[in-house]
């Protein structure tokens, strides 16, 4: 059965999409079958992997709202073993339309049941609306990226409360796999202070791997490439490779 991991934080610009794409690429390069689900109507994950949603082949909206199978819509990427379930702007309509649908919180979970992947990574949108709730209900594990900047902790309390509510009512199995510090600048005391503060708030949950601020990571999506293919020797690439190892370890530890 696939290990389903949601990458969520309702703050925008904290590195959710960058983490999903590059973690997905490195997990796939370790001979795993990986599906990325682009749950953000902005579609940055899809375009960052060189995928343009087009009407003919469908996207996540069709899966959530029209019962099209995930397998029919999932598409291969330039990375061997890495597939993506793309999103486009119409997915924004699902945020409104789902409200009237029975069992609306379970649409994604049901769509992802019985898929033949080792990992499914869900890139959540920057809100705590019904799409993100679908992501958290479908997931076994959660990764929270936190940007090593001022206000990093803002909103984390609300996210943790949402997770607790979802555990109680909708998905008792949802675990917090880890909190990931992103865009870290080792030369600033602020970055180091934020790292320490995150560790105080989430003892034993913070990934040892810290993602540095690295311009190569910001450039790669405009070429439709993961960092592995864009600049595999960059600091950013090495950090996501290390993260993939840690994720494999944490995912394996849970299984036993
Ligand atoms: N480690 C990093 N170093 C430099 N730029 C980064 C890094 N991580 C993300 N970015 C850039 O920051 C912006 C926000 O990142 P993104 O992954 O899209 O965040 P989110 O999905 O949480 O909104 C993007 O332009 C991205 O390229
Ligand atoms: Mg994003």
Task: Confirm if 17 and 211 have CB atoms less than 8 A apart.
Answer: no
62 CA from centroid of ligand 1 (Å): 28
pLDDT tens for each residue of 192-229: 999 999 999 999 999 999 999 999 999 999 999 999 99
30 CA from centroid of ligand 2 (Å): 24
Pairing outcome for strands 75-76 and 82-85: antiparallel
Q: Is residue 129 part of a domain?
A: yes
**DSSP β-bridge partners for residue 4:** 120
In sign, the C-alpha dihedral spanning 119, 117, 138, 76 is: positive
Q: Assign residue 183 a region: left if phi > 0, alpha if psi is -120 to 50, beta otherwise? A: left
Q: Which of ligand 1's atoms lies nearest the C-alpha of 14?
A: 22
* pLDDT confidence of residue 1: 85
> Quick one: 217 exposed, middle or buried, by C-beta within 10 A (0-12, 13-18, 19+)?
buried
From atom 12 of ligand 1, which residue's Cα is the shortest distance away?
13
* pLDDT confidence of residue 9: 97
Nearest-CA neighbor of 152 among 210, 208, 95? 210
pLDDT tens for each residue of 142-194: 999 999 988 888 899 999 999 999 999 999 999 999 999 999 998 999 999 99
From atom 6 of ligand 1, which residue's Cα is the shortest distance away?
218
Residue ranges making up the domain that contains 166: 3-251
DSSP string, 51-120: ----TTT--HHHHHHH---HHHH-EE-SSTTEEEE---TTHHHHHHHGGGSTTGGGHHHHHHTT---SEE
Q: How confident is the model at residue 256 (pLDDT cuts 50, 70, 90)?
A: very low
Q: Is residue 256 part of a domain?
A: no
Q: Which of ligand 1's atoms lies nearest the C-alpha of 184?
A: 1
Task: Confirm if 94 and 39 have CB atoms less than 8 A apart.
Answer: no
Q: Which of ligand 1's atoms lies nearest the C-alpha of 220?
A: 27
Nearest-CA neighbor of 79 among 226, 219, 220? 226
Judged against a pLDDT cut of 90, whether residue 83 lies above it is answered with: yes
From atom 26 of ligand 1, which residue's Cα is the shortest distance away?
218
Q: Which ligand is nearest to the CA of 143?
A: 1
* pLDDT confidence of residue 236: 98
- Mean pLDDT along residues 82-89: 94
As for ligand 1, residues whose beta carbon falls within 6 Å of it are 12-18, 44, 126, 182-183, 211, 213-214, 217-218, 236
> Quick one: 187 exposed, middle or buried, by C-beta within 10 A (0-12, 13-18, 19+)?
exposed
* pLDDT confidence of residue 203: 94
* pLDDT confidence of residue 54: 67
Compute the C-alpha angle 55/61/67, nearest 5°: 105
**Across the chain, what does the average pLDDT equal?**
94
Nearest-CA neighbor of 31 among 82, 96, 106? 82
Report how many domains make up the chain: 1
From atom 9 of ligand 1, which residue's Cα is the shortest distance away?
15
- Mean pLDDT along residues 241-252: 96
Write the CATH number for 20: 3.40.50.300
Task: Confirm if 130 and 105 have CB atoms less than 8 A apart.
Answer: yes
Q: Is residue 190 part of a domain?
A: yes
41 CA from centroid of ligand 2 (Å): 9
> Which tokens is 149 given?
């900047």
Q: 16-29 and 235-255 helices cross at what angle (nearest 10)? A: 70
Q: Is residue 239 part of a domain?
A: yes
pLDDT tens for each residue of 23-48: 999 999 999 999 999 999 999 999 99
């Amino acid at each position: 059965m696939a290990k389903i991991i949601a990458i969520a934080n309702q703050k925008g610009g904290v590195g959710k999409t960058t983490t999903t794409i590059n973690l997905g690429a490195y997990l796939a390069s370790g001979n795993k079958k990986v599906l990325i689900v682009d749950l953000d109507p902005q579609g940055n994950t899809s375009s960052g992997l060189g995928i343009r949603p087009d009407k003919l082949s469908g996207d996540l909206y069709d899966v959530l709202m029209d019962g099209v199978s995930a397998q029919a819509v999932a598409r291969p990427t330039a990375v061997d073993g890495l597939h993506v379930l793309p999103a486009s702007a119409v997915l924004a309509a699902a945020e409104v339309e789902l409200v009237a649908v029975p069992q609306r919180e379970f649409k994604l979970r049901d769509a992802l049941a019985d898929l033949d992947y080792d990992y499914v990574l869900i890139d959540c949108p920057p809100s705590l609306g019904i799409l993100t709730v679908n992501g958290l209900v479908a997931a076994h594990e959660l990764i929270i990226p936190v940007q090593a900047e001022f206000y990093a902790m803002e909103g984390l309390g609300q996210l943790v409360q949402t997770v607790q509510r979802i555990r109680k009512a909708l998905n008792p199995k949802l675990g917090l796999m880890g909190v990931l510090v992103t865009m870290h600048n080792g030369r600033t005391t602020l970055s180091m202070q934020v790292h320490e503060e995150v560790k105080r708030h989430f003892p034993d949950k913070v990934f040892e791997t810290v993602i540095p601020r690295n311009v190569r990571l910001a450039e790669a999506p405009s070429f439709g490439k993961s960092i592995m293919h864009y600049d595999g020797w960059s600091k950013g690439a090495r950090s996501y490779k290390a993260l993939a190892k840690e994720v494999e370890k944490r995912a394996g530890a849970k299984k036993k």
